[in-house]
Structure 1
Amino acid sequence: MQLDLGPDHRTEILRRMHNRLVAQFGRVIRPDDKRRDPMWTLVQGVIGARAKTAVSNDNTDRLIAEYGSWERVAAAPLEELKAHLQTATFPAMAAERLKACLQDIIAQRGKASLDHLATMETEDAMAWLETLPGIARKISAGIMNTSQFNRKALVLDTGHRRVVQRMGLVPPKADTARAYDELMPLLPPEWSAEDLDEHHLLGKRLAQTICRPKQPDCPSCPVRADCETGRTS
């Protein structure tokens, strides 16, 4: 007989974390008109490794404006794509991964479209996405959560993952996929897809300003009381 141990204490920590980050940084709400179609979101993710969001957004907008369709992007010569992605952090890798990913989608679906994911459960849709070249958990969650799909999937970039690892909410050596699998069951059940989006954006901001990779400013951290690392520093 399995005992019901009640709710996990980490769920309440996540609630407090969210509220304290809102108090520190203010609300970070993504307007509906900033939610792009899923293919745009996929391309932005594939070409955005180690790049600032504004740069990746600009590159994605310029590609679709230049070629007119993602099918034409997929058919473009690799060297041509590299030239269009010179502001990406790794333009050669970005071009190769994007071309491979788009060609794979077209081969499977007959066109560059993710419309079929709309009828799939979120976990199944993410699993399908992660079979594509260049798509790992951060990008698959981003496609499901931040695009017009607007699903309950928590995006975890390197900074946000560092925060929850230092807090002790996930194992210290967990990769993004494992951290996601650990956190999703802990999220407050009342949180909407928009709340998950805001939680990520707040966690990302904390990582950029206070919980930095080196020399974190623990005394200034609004979540220090719930952080295993902060309490001992």
Structure 2
Amino acid sequence: MTHFSKLSGNSIPLQLPLDDDPRTDTLRRTQAALIERFGRIIRPQDKRRDPVWTLVQGVIGARTKTVRSNRSTDGLLEEYGSWDAVADAAVEELTERLALQTFPELSAQRLKDCLLAIRERCGAVSLAHLAALDTEEAMDWLEALPGVARKIGAQVMNTSTFDRPVMVIEGHHRRIMQRMGLIPAKADTERAYDALMPVLPPEWSAADMDEHHLLLKKLGQSHCRPRAPVCEGCPVRANCRYAAARR
């Protein structure tokens, strides 16, 4: 059985195996089919960035392509030299520096609020202390920051140098899981996370979860689009409730 730990109202599963749910095998088949179609997408260890960099990229990245958010995040650190210096910059100045983002003014305000909150709690803009916390405690800490919800919290824990076994869920990922019938049809990101984490294959590592997310994102861009999904030729069609209903 998988047991749940309640912290700050969030229900996050401890990593004890639960392998009797049919969704677990469906996820395994989905992963295999996606790898066969798209090939492996493995994030090299040298591409795992500092947790604060990862947090900043998530906070400023609303509805913006990843490559642009990466460029903006790198640009901020290069120009200011430290995240504490970024926290001290005026919102108007940050807005100019975030011109590539879809919502530069909103991104600038959220970023400044988030960095100042970290410094108020830690004395400096650093997330190093999270390494000593259990994953669910670290997620709770992150989600208490301004502008940080489940997706960004999971992103920091999974894709940064923390390399923790939690699943990042964004729009493409959630939509595909809903259409496949693996999570409730109207689940938001937090509910999707709580539904999926207990049924992930217990042998999956943090890197496997990262790859699963990246593969689903690729599927969402190529086949399982928000509108007019292309079910014909979809590699996971055999396991998809939506595709079966269309047939």
In structure 1, what residue type is equivalent to 2:177? Answer: V
Separation in 2, partners of 1:7, 1:74: 47
**Which stretch of the first structure deviates more once superposed, 218-227 or 17-26?**
218-227
Root-mean-square deviation (Å) = 0.9
Q: How many residue pairs are counted as aligned between the two chains?
A: 229
Q: Distance in 2 between matches of 1:228 and 1:202?
A: 19
Q: Which residue in the other structure is 2:166 paired with?
A: 153
Task: State the partner residue of 2:103.
Answer: 90
Measure how far apart 1:6 and its partner are.
6.7
CA distance in 1, matches of 2:220, 2:75: 29
Say if 2:79 is the partner of 1:50: no
**Structure 2 Cα separation of the partners of residues 30 and 22 of structure 1:** 14
2:87 corresponding residue in structure 1: 74
Q: Structure 1 residue aligned with 2:193, among 180, 187, 205? A: 180
Aligned partners of 1:37 and 1:111: how far apart in 2? 15
Aligned partner of 1:141 in structure 2 is 154
Q: Report the Cα distance in structure 1 between the residues aligned to 2:114 and 2:26, rounded to whole angstroms.
A: 38
Task: Give distance in 2, aligned partners of 1:73 and 1:28.
Answer: 32
CA distance in 1, matches of 2:204, 2:244: 27
Distance in 2 (CA, whole Å) between partners of 1:6 and 1:84 is 48
Cα deviation digits, residues 64-95 of structure 1 (max 9, x gap)? 00001111100001100000000100000000
Q: Which runs of 5+ in 2 are unaligned?
A: 1-17
Q: Indicate yes or no: 2:215 matched with 1:215.
A: no
Provide the secondary structure at the position in 1 that maps to 2:232. helix
Give the alignment of 1:23-38 within 5 angstroms. Answer: 23-38=36-51
Q: 1:164-215: per-residue Cα shift (whole Å, max 9, x none)?
A: 0000000010000010010001000000000000000001100010000011
Q: Pick closer, same or farther for the CA change 1:81–1:31 going to 2, 3 Å.
A: same
TM value normalised by structure 2: 0.92
Q: Which residue of 2 aligns with 1:232?
A: 245
- Alpha-carbon shift at residue 219 of structure 1 (Å): 1.6
Distance 1:6 1:65 in 2: 46
Q: CA deviation at 1:37?
A: 0.5
Q: Which amino acid in structure 2 is aligned with residue 195 of structure 1?
A: D
Following superposition, the deviation at residue 123 of structure 1 comes to 1.0
- Which position in structure 1 is the counterpart of 2:22? 9
The aligned residue for residue 199 of structure 1 is 212
Name the aligned partner's letter for residue 30 of structure 2: M
SS at match of 2:202: coil
Distance in structure 2 (CA, Å) of the matches to 1:146 and 1:207: 20
Q: Please say if residues 19 and 202 of structure 2, whose CA atoms lie closer than 8 Å, have aligned partners that are also in contact.
A: no
Separation of aligned partners in 2, 1:205 and 1:149 = 24
Give the ranges of 4+ consecutive aligned residues of structure 1 lying more than 2 Å apart after TM superposition: none
